Amino acid sequence: MSDINDLLPHLSDEDRANFIKAVSGVGDAFESQTTIVVDPEKIANLPAVREHVLSGAAIALDLEAAIASLKADPSISAKLIAAEIVKTQHDTIRKETAGMSRQAKMTYARERGLDRPRSDVSSEKMTLSEHLAVLQSLSPTNRIAYARRHGIS
């Protein structure tokens, strides 16, 4: 099966517009269901998208089949599993801390290492002097939050 991108130059403008609309529609639907953004190249060659575009939109775009195909892709299923693990961890933390006081929540966080900088926001590219320059421009409350987030406190 050839790459659909090789066929696009030989299709009409209407077919190319259908292709763009189908790829973005599948991507948006998948993201809204799973919160994971998928590379449009993976979406472009899905059977449901190919059938829709190559039929001149005579065959309706089957979003369910396209989403199922994306979920079956090994790289995407790994991301789905990782996202589910994170969601489960967050739900557990919310449930365990629901009735706690602020002090008890801080103790809970410290005991579990949740008071450390998160890997998704820590910046190893910035030097301490650059962080201090940012801190000078913030209000006192925001300074504390920034310093904690970046492990400066």
Q: What whole-number distance in Å separates Cα of residue 39 and Cα of residue 114? A: 32
Report the first-to-last Cα separation within the chain, whole angstroms: 56
Indicate whether 107 pLDDT > 80: yes
pLDDT class of 90 with cuts at 50, 70, 90:
very high
Token pair recorded at residue 150: 């970046």
Indicate whether 7 pLDDT > 80: no
Mean pLDDT calculated for residue range 5-22: 84
Report pLDDT digits (tens) over 126-141. Answer: 778 888 888 888 888 8
Q: Please, which residues have CB within 8 angstroms of residue 10's CB and are 6 or more apart in sequence?
A: none
DSSP class of 118: P
Q: Which helix (H) or strand (E) holds 94?
A: helix 74-96
Token pair recorded at residue 55: 């039929």
